[in-house]
Chains A and B, each alone.
Chain A
Amino acid sequence: MFYREAGQFKATYQEDLQAFPIRQDKIGIGIWLAIAYLYIPFFGIPGLEYGFALNAIMIPVLIFTITTLGLNILVGFTGQISLGTGAFMGVGAYSCYKLTSYFPDANIIVLILASGFVAAAVGALFGLPSLRIKGFYLVVATLAAQFFLEWCFIRIGWLYNFNPSGAIEVPQREVFGVIVTGAAAEPATRYLVVLTILVFLTVIAGNIVRGRIGRSWMMIRDMDIAAELIGVRPLWAKLSAFAVSSYYCGVSGALMVFLWLGAAEVESFDVNHSFLYLFMVILGGLGSITGSYMGAAFIWTFPIILKEVGKRLFDIDPIVMENVSLVAIGVMIVFILIKEPHGLARLWQLIKQKLRIWPFPH
């Protein structure tokens, strides 16, 4: 309905290869960015208390979007299931913690981005079995990663500087004189940092996925034998997927601890979280970047909304609502898988398609 594509023609391949070839889409993205950068940091979300809006909703959602992007690269684009996401985030978090204790004066954002590489390395290592084994067997491999790493986070005191509480506590760090991490950091600051990193990583993901490497991933996903006969080397395709995916998870893990939680123990990285992230991917849409946003936002906010609604309208015990939301999400997963295996993203796609050919039905 809002689309006016007549007269939008492409005279070069560069134009045709853009991420958003349609003008109206560009405008749409512009609006979203404007809201994200110019409105929310100052006014939060209408109808919600400012601190709550940022700390409890926006910041975690953005961070988990990064996680979901990462996991989606592995599951959605390359077709390799992983239940080790939580642990890979942990790797990012702990290595960032170590880095900042070794280089207290280094720019924390740089360290966060750097810690992703450690996660990438570990991810690639545990990705190795994927060359021999497929499907559910791979689940076992990733679970091995999950539990082994969890164990490391507990047993290897060096990782948390032998802190008796076994937790990692985030020190205060400044970037260009602005406090970014630690208790004293402004929510707005942390939000903006996270948002910027997310935008940056999204662009990169989008680029890779549309290029040679992204194609090799999707080839493996869609038909690995054909892919090989066309010349894709499974080793590189799969390992690169694992590495990139884990990098995203690692960065998001570091962000989670340093710009959101402030402190964390092994529980923040346990297998249940891995499931949560998998849900985000499934619900959002396998193999879709937009979907990663939707999935993360939905899975995270849904229980909160339920709880709020339950408390405010019917004054139901939050614990109950928690379980209700558990069930509800489970039901939704199943429902989505039955109705639209490609998740919210596909639904959005369909709506968009309808809008493009409006008023025609097809």
Chain B
Amino acid sequence: MRCARSNRVNDHGSGIEGEQVNDTATNYVTEDGRTIGGVIMEMKNITLRFGGVVAIKDASFDIHEGEIRAIIGPNGAGKSSMLNVINGFYHPQEGEVWFRGEKRPSMKPYEIAEQGIARTFQNIALFHGMTTIENVMTGRQLMMKKNFFWQMLRVGPALDEEVEHRRKCEEIIDFLEIQAIRKTPVGSLPYGLQKRVELARALAMEPKLLLLDEPMAGMNVEEKEDMSRFILDVNEQYGTTIALIEHDMSVVMDLADRVVVLDYGKMLADGTPDEVQKNQAVIDAYLGVEH
């Protein structure tokens, strides 16, 4: 399996169709010719504490529409906490989170979902009582509207709705190449596939912003390559903005357009993979540890 981006014909990048970008001032073009849109989410001086412990200290960065943004750092660097802040699950004591041009108030988890933010979890959080397709279908929950009465009869509108969304889910299943396990209970699936199903579920929500919490944790090389390919394809096919946490440097460097490096809750660097890789602080704090 090779990565999709590796053999693109570079010089003819045609830009992202569909959702065009609002303020061109902040646009930029990636090395592989994708035009990235304006800021979709901005973190301003975020500080998060658990009791006395400081998980994140005065971190600020932004995520642009259509880009793949990576947050990396050694274990305990506050990556997951950061994701939970972006996700709205944690509410920082200081700082503001701006999403799609609005300062975000503290919200209930389901309100976050309604805002169009989907995520996967570091330790997989699938619904183990259900099959793959059912799990993916749960992603459509918010888009299904038919009332109790129709649900009860399961004919006419309710059935049509069910069918319509089933079709959408099947497209995603096809996209992530998990047809063979369509009707298998997720509990019995190998780890790698479960991760893929979880991604499928998140995609089913058609999110504005997709958060991936260590999407490649505990995968072998081949699975990692597959996963990277899928992440790239998702970003390209659906133009989805993706923010991902990962500690495997090499993977991130292939995937991400821009990288934020955290260490002990502090931001060490923010920039393109190359810039970050050259950054001395990062090398000391992180790469040093790794190699």
Q: Which residues of B contact A (CB under 8 A)?
A: 87, 89, 108-110, 112-114, 118-119, 121, 125-130, 134, 137-139, 141-142, 144, 146, 148, 151-154, 158-159, 161-163, 166-167, 201, 205
Contact = CB atoms under 8 A, between A and B. Distances in A.
Contacts of B153: 207
B109 A13 contact: no
Where chain A touches its partner, the secondary structure class is: helix
Contacts of A215: 130, 134, 137-138, 141
A211 B110 contact: no
A231 B142 contact: yes
Nearest to B201: A230
B141 A230 contact: yes
Given A207-B151, A211-B154, A218-B127, A228 B141 contact: no
Interface string A9-37: 00011101100000000000000000000
A362 interface: no
Where chain B touches its partner, the secondary structure class is: helix
A229 B109 contact: yes
A43 B158 CA distance: 41
Given A212-B151, A218-B127, A13 B141 contact: no
A213 interface: yes
Given A207-B154, A218-B129, A219-B138, 16 more contacts: A207-B152, A208-B151, A211-B162, A212-B144, A213-B148, A213-B151, A215-B130, A218-B127, A218-B130, A222-B128, A226-B125, A226-B126, A230-B138, A230-B141, A231-B142, A233-B110
Contacts of A229: 87, 89, 109-110, 112-113, 119
Contacts, number: 97
A222 B129 contact: yes
A223 B148 CA distance: 23
B108 A228 contact: yes
A113 B167 CA distance: 36
A12 B114 CA distance: 31
Given A230-B201, A231-B114, A219 B127 contact: yes
15 contacts: A14-B159, A14-B163, A204-B152, A207-B151, A212-B146, A212-B161, A213-B151, A215-B137, A215-B138, A222-B129, A223-B125, A229-B109, A229-B113, A230-B142, A231-B114
B130 to A, nearest CB: 6
Interface centre among B87, B126, B148 (most CB of A within 10 A): B148
A222 B129 CA distance: 7
A-B pairs with lowest CB-CB distance, top 9: A231-B113, A207-B154, A228-B109, A222-B127, A231-B142, A226-B125, A13-B163, A212-B144, A211-B151
Contacts of A17: 159, 162-163, 166
A27 B146 CA distance: 31
Contacts of B121: 226
A229 B207 CA distance: 12
B143 to A, nearest CB: 9
Contacts of B146: 212
A98 interface: no
Contact of A226 (B127, B134, B166, B167): B127
